[in-house]
Structure 1
């Protein structure tokens, strides 16, 4: 069967293919534990994630292809609407609720790149960026790409997701992807409401946003230091470390406003 290349993020650029009803992609180190979890998740009634359709072979995994639309750069207008944002929040909450009911192997080799340093009792996605959310009829319907899934707290996964979808970026950085017109703080509040974020997690979220941003910066640093050509290209085109300094400074300065937005 002819293979169709699938576009997406940087980590597996050019290495993800669709063959009929299956997606073939590089298998992460935790593939066996992840596949068991995804299978149990579906058996428990959660349809918003693919299931494995074959064993890992030659370092590649085969997962169910989930039809729909995925927002790639330049982001289409429909992906930046408040309706899309609300649907992502609700999908993430459904994932967390289902994940909390589904056992996973805590001793597996879960990646630490984006993992919650405090750990947790459910499996977080940790990379629910636009490229990893499948939309149908304008609403978020499924999550894909679990390369960075790891145990953690729901608020950590919420913070990771908000970084991409609010987005939690200073205006100059948001303008680099034509998202500077999106009001970050109202969208943050809307996401928290749609997710049903608890009072305790609303209090913890500003700190989690700073921590997840630092974790993402450290991840980029490792990729740049290793000479990864895709990351080097994007890193240079977006302005290098001054961009990250700007984001972190903005988050710190916005903290009182974040706290106020989350209270209201």
Structure 2
């Protein structure tokens, strides 16, 4: 770090490697940075101004983007980020991204990352990692999205499911207690997110099943990182209950599928 640089906290893969310098943020560039930057610029042309604007790539493999002012919730997540109104605003922000993205077909030549990508594919570039760490709030409302490193083509419903995992959250009570405020009811909160997004009635019944599918993909992602010896993921797995936790979450999702479906359709 040099004079005038401010380290930005949060995240896992790039923890400790993201800095703000004035109105710009400098961070490690993903392998497909050129294609991703082009996509973000076209999104802005189609009215989505709630993402960083790419500036350039550096010779040492980093990217520079505009800084977005606001508040980002870091774990353990604070109460202000988990209010019903905050949750609804997350849904609205995701819908804005998808509406702009619908006019921007995915670049089929780009080497989009497969880490958290929808296994069924699609033409809409999904964010795939809309966790609290990647949402910028202003005045208690979700105002912008950051960190598009794992964005890839997929279904809109996939992105809603990925987002629900973090924001309902779609976790059993024991697992949720480690990172979230007490008292959050995912059965009540999942419809709030769906309503904020404006999820069509025809897709609501399928959302719980896609959340289960997304959880399996996320587990496989963690397993690959742990098998590769990634110290960040090895430590996080140990600190958050190991594979027993993942087993518990997946069983809980299946056991409550009908309850979630009924709440979404009520």
Length-normalised TM-score, structure 1: 0.97
Which residue of 2 is the match for residue 78 of structure 1?
Answer: 80
Which residue of 2 is the match for residue 207 of structure 1?
Answer: 209
* Deviation, structure 1 residue 119: 0.9
* Deviation, structure 1 residue 169: 0.2
Matches within 5 A, 1:17-96: 17-96=19-98
Aligned residues, how many? 264
On the 8 A contact 1:116/1:153 being kept in 2, the answer is yes
On the 8 A contact 2:7/2:16 being kept in 1, the answer is yes
1:190 aligns with 2:192: yes
* Deviation, structure 1 residue 164: 0.2
On the 8 A contact 1:37/1:103 being kept in 2, the answer is no
Q: What's the secondary structure of 1:93's corresponding residue?
A: helix
Q: Extract unaligned runs of 5+ from structure 2.
A: none
* Deviation, structure 1 residue 234: 1.2
* Deviation, structure 1 residue 180: 4.3
Q: What's the secondary structure of 1:61's corresponding residue?
A: strand
* Deviation, structure 1 residue 9: 1.1
* In structure 2, C-alpha distance between the alignment counterparts of 1:38 and 1:197, rounded to whole Å: 24
1:148 aligns with 2:183: no
Which residue of 2 is the match for residue 242 of structure 1?
Answer: 244
* Deviation, structure 1 residue 46: 1.2
* Deviation, structure 1 residue 103: 3.4
* Deviation, structure 1 residue 56: 4.3
1:150-189 residue CA offsets vs partner (Å, 9 max, x unmatched): 0011100000000000000001101111434100011001
Q: Which moved more, 1:154-163 or 1:16-25?
A: 16-25
Q: Which moved more, 1:161-170 or 1:185-194?
A: 185-194
Q: What's the secondary structure of 2:261's corresponding residue?
A: helix
Q: What's the secondary structure of 1:57's corresponding residue?
A: coil
Which residue of 1 is the match for residue 126 of structure 2?
Answer: 124
Length-normalised TM-score, structure 2: 0.97
* Deviation, structure 1 residue 57: 2.8
Q: Extract unaligned runs of 5+ from structure 1.
A: none
On the 8 A contact 2:105/2:123 being kept in 1, the answer is no
Task: Sort the Cα spacing of 1:97 and 1:56 in 2 relative to 1 into closer, same or farther, 3 A.
Answer: farther
* In structure 2, C-alpha distance between the alignment counterparts of 1:228 and 1:10, rounded to whole Å: 11
1:263 aligns with 2:258: no
